[in-house]
Amino acid sequence: MNTADNVVEMRSISKGFNGVSVLRDVSFDVRKGEVHALAGGNGAGKSTLMKILQGVYQADAGEIIIGGKPTVINSIHDAKAAGIGMVFQEFSLVPSLTVAQNIFLSAEPLGAGGLIDDRAAVRRARELFAEMEVTVDPQAEVSRLGTAYWQLTEIAKALSQDAQVLIMDEPTASLARHESEALFELIDRLKERGISIIYISHRMDEVYRLADRITILRDGSRLLTEPLTNVTPEQIVEGIVGKKIEGELAYRERDRVDHEGAPLLEVRGLNAGRRVKDVSFALRPGEILGLAGLMGSGRTELARALFGIDRRDSGDILIRGEKVSLTSPQQAIDAGIALIPEDRRAQGLVLDHSVRDNLLLPLLGQIKRGPLLDSNKGKDLSSSLIKKFAVKVAHPHRPVRLLSGGNQQKVVIAKWLGTDPDILILDEPTAGVDIGTKSEILDMIRELASAGKAVIVISSEYPELLAVSDRVLVLKDGSVIRDIPRSNIADEEYLQLAVQGV
């Protein structure tokens, strides 16, 4: 195939941030009517490459050729004009406007006297959806629609602007299975119309179902670009896995968990919402259970259900053999469960408050004297927590905002451990944390388990999961598909394949 068939060609793109090279000499091309999968591990440079194509970043070196002509893309506007469309997730729509109003936002059809002709917009939106062969009510307010419709609206919006190339980033992450299938059929039809799609996904089955070719990035360089028929799933996984596990993150055998003993936490046939389906498992004192799964597999939702945030539809949760009803976080805390949430800045900390105040927030009951708070007790308690968890802070009075990501995370963990929970759930405990602090946090998790606590670790970083877990539960579409003891997991690739369900 000659280059004239390429709708987009990115040649020898390099990009760095603050002297750190993120992309090195990466070439990437998309042919007309092709689905081109883009894969790579975290930090491989996928999103940077796409942001350059979208005009969010500018490349340091290299050129972009669109429709055979060298093109300068300096803004999102330039990208749109060049026919590059993006399908964001819940990002570029205005919830309070209707579907049609969103599609034509800033490009409204005008009628008599320069006034917006909403009827024409609705009519044209209907035509667009008819071409896409999907049913969406153009007059529905977006906030009242589900995620699948947001996506269809985004696609229609891009098509209305004559996009020739659509970038889809993990488009099925928040879709139910039948919705994903409908999206795949739509992608097939778009292909037939000559529209090209850059499909970013970690899901092997989707990549094989949809893509014509795949490009794998690794550490900022292109590893390969091949037709899907030429690559095996193992090759893709190998490409995604990237660097070998650092010594710091290696698995360390701890005192053996008493697998015959009574479980501390038992979950039987738990259903909650549409992302937790018939989940059963048992967790014993001293055990670390890893939860693995792709984005949208229900890991976080399972944690939320256990912590009483999401309503349980059916099934039982037993703590020390007794059924408990957890309908609020307060009840979960009282039952001895602590959840360290995924987004620590939004959910775990009051950033402008001092380290001390943050630490003491769940412990106010312990430092009361009569109706008032005893500030001396508070000082002692917070100082002992800071010391115990080696939080690096000049003074407990300093606001948490000023701490590094790793130390912030330590404050979140310390805060919850102050309540002395028996069961600890950590959702992405080392996200955005430097490698040194990462191993400290993992050590902390091991110590807690050795002290007899039961720990659940959710992580999308497999090396980390493998470093601490005694057992790994693999979730897919809200159900447990595998329950593997750590000793049966040879390496990261094995786990990757298990998560993909290959």
Partner 1 sequence: MSKANTIAPRDTAAPRNIGTMLKDLDWRRYVIYIGFVVVFLFFAVLLRDQGFLSPQNLLNIFRQTATITVIAVGMTYVISCAEIDLSVGSVAGLSSVCTAMALSQWGLIPGILAGLAVGLVVGSINGALVSLLGIPSFLVTLGMLGIAVGVAQWITASAPQPILNDTFNMLFGSGDFGPVPGLVVWSAIFVAIGAVVLNRTKFGRQVLATGGNRNAAEFTGINTKRIKFQVLLISGMVASVAGMLYAGRLQSGRFQWGAGDELSAIAAVILGGTSLFGGFGSIVGTLFGALLIGLINNGLILAGLDSSQQQVVRGAIIILAVALARKK
Enumerate binding residues for partner 1 (CB under 8 A). 76-77, 88, 91-97, 101, 105-106, 108, 114-116, 118, 133-137, 140-141, 144-146, 148-149, 152, 178-179, 181-182, 185-186
- Considering beta carbons, is residue 105 or 257 the nearer one to partner 1? 105
Distances in Å between the Cα of 351 and the Cα atoms of 70, 367, 393, 406, 459 are 46, 22, 14, 14, 24
Among residues 77 and 392, whose Cβ is nearest to partner 1? 77
Q: Are 411 and 427 in contact (CB under 8 A)?
A: no
- Comparing CB distances to partner 1, the nearer of 20 and 115 is 115
Instruction: Count the Cβ atoms, other than its own, within 10 Å of residue 488.
Output: 11
Q: Give me the least distance between CB of 431 and partner 1, in Å please.
A: 22
Q: Shortest distance, CB of residue 271 to partner 1, whole angstroms?
A: 18
135 three-state secondary structure:
coil
Question: Which of 345, 303, 348, 349 shows the shortest CA–CA distance to 326?
Answer: 303
Q: Closest approach of Cβ 182 to partner 1, in Å?
A: 5
* Shortest distance (Å) from residue 87 CB to partner 1: 12
The gap from C-alpha 60 to its chain's centroid, in whole angstroms, comes to 28
CB nearer to partner 1: pick between 259 and 311: 311
First to last CA, the chain: 32
- Distance CA(52)–CA(278), nearest Å, equals 42
Q: What's the min distance (Å) between Cβ of 176 and partner 1?
A: 8
Rounded distance, CA 477 to CA 483, Å?
15
CA–CA dist 460, 323 (Å, integer): 31
Task: Classify residue 103 as exposed, middle or buried by CB count within 10 Å of its CB (0-12, 13-18, 19+).
Answer: buried
Cα 180 to Cα 48: distance, rounded to the nearest angstrom:
26
92 or 404, CB closer to partner 1?
92
Minimum distance, C-beta of residue 228 to partner 1, in the bound complex (Å): 23
Between 78 and 357, CB nearer to partner 1: 78
Residues 6+ apart with CB under 8 A from 484: 471, 472, 474, 498
Minimum Å gap between C-beta 345 and partner 1 is 18
Nearer to partner 1, 114 or 371 (CB): 114
Nearer of residues 25 and 477 to partner 1, judged by Cβ: 477
What is the nearest approach in angstroms of partner 1 to the Cβ of residue 427? 25
Q: Which residues contact 181 (CB under 8 A, 6 or more apart)?
A: none
Shorter beta-carbon distance to partner 1: residue 141 or 374: 141
What minimum distance in Å lies between the beta carbon of 502 and partner 1?
Answer: 25
Helix (H, G, I), strand (E, B) or coil at 380: helix
Q: What phi, psi does 181 have (nearest 5°)? A: -60, -40
